[in-house]
């Protein structure tokens, strides 16, 4: 498969970055397909889940679904996760219905937080939610996937992690980044991330090995 593409499921059609941008725009723009914020969020989660499914390496027995992580002791401490990449072991999947799961923390390879627009507050809020999981499972990643990043530059997003003890286990992937252009933040142009598939694939292969 050419670099920078993702296999398009049952249709067998390769998805290219520009296809992803088009779908993201239609989902997230004010005059897009839907107006309801929650519906937009679910549709974006489904789009990212399908993309991850196509990027998962074969033969690794990995799945991706929405749901919750249980550590075997606490009750209800961990929030519902947008997407969880986990080892599909029968005894570790405690609940499984219509792609909603409860899985044991021991089989979790990655938590994926899907955002229409990522901000520093999102990062600062969610990393503590998963701090214990990341500490106990050093191979696990927390991946932020965003349609865009409040429009800021990649360097700024990476600086959000500076000094954070969990930095090595956090990845930020955006379909579009801001530029260094001056002017009101809301009017700064967004630049398509042509390496979005490569960056997400690299994170997935990190947890799959």
Residue 7 lies in a domain: no
Contact 82, 67 (CB under 8 A): no
Lowest mean pLDDT: which of 2-11, 101-110, 181-190? 2-11
Q: How would DSSP label each residue in 84-99?
A: EEEE--GGGEEEEETT
- The pLDDT-based confidence of 101 (bands split at 50, 70, 90) is very high
Whether residue 2 lies inside any domain: the answer is no
Closest CA to 117 of 179, 190, 200, 61: 190
Q: How many domains does the chain have?
A: 1
Indicate whether 179 belongs to any domain: yes
Q: Is residue 71 part of a domain?
A: yes
Residue with more model confidence, 11 or 71: 71
Between CA 98 and CA 30 the distance in angstroms is 30
Strand 141-149 to 93-97 pairing: unpaired
Is residue 44 predicted with pLDDT exceeding 80?
yes
CA 127 to chain CA centroid, nearest Å = 13
Give the angle 202-205-209 at the CA atoms, nearest 5°. 145
In a domain, 1, yes or no: no
Report yes or no on 125 lying in a domain. Answer: yes
* pLDDT at residue 79, as a whole number: 77
- Does 138 reside within a domain? yes
* pLDDT of the residue at 8: 45
Residue 23's nearest CA partner among 12, 10, 32, 36 is 32
User: pLDDT digits over 64-95, tens only?
Assistant: 999 999 887 766 556 789 999 999 988 889 99
In a domain, 26, yes or no: yes
| SS3 assignment, position 36 | coil
Tell me the residue range of the domain where 118 lies.
Answer: 14-208
């Amino acid at each position: 498969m050419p670099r920078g593409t993702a296999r398009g499921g049952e249709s067998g059609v390769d998805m290219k970055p520009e296809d992803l941008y088009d779908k993201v725009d239609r989902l997230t723009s004010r005059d897009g397909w839907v107006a309801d914020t929650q519906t937009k969020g679910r549709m974006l989660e489904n789009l990212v889940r399908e993309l991850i499914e196509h990027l998962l390496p074969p033969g690794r027995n990995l799945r991706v679904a929405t749901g919750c992580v249980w550590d075997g002791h606490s009750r209800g401490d961990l929030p519902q996760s947008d997407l969880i990449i986990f080892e599909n072991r029968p005894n570790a999947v405690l609940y499984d219905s219509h792609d909603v799961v409860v899985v044991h923390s021991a089989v979790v390879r990655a938590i994926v937080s899907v955002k229409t627009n990522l901000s520093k507050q999102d990062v600062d809020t969610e990393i503590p939610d998963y701090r214990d999981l990341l500490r106990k499972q050093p191979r696990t990643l927390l991946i932020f996937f965003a349609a865009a990043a409040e429009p800021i530059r990649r360097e700024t997003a990476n600086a959000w992690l500076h000094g954070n003890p969990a930095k090595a286990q956090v990845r930020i992937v955006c379909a579009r980044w801001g530029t260094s252009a001056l002017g009101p933040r809301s009017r700064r142009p967004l630049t398509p991330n042509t390496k979005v598939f490569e960056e997400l694939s690299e994170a997935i292969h990190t947890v799959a090995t």
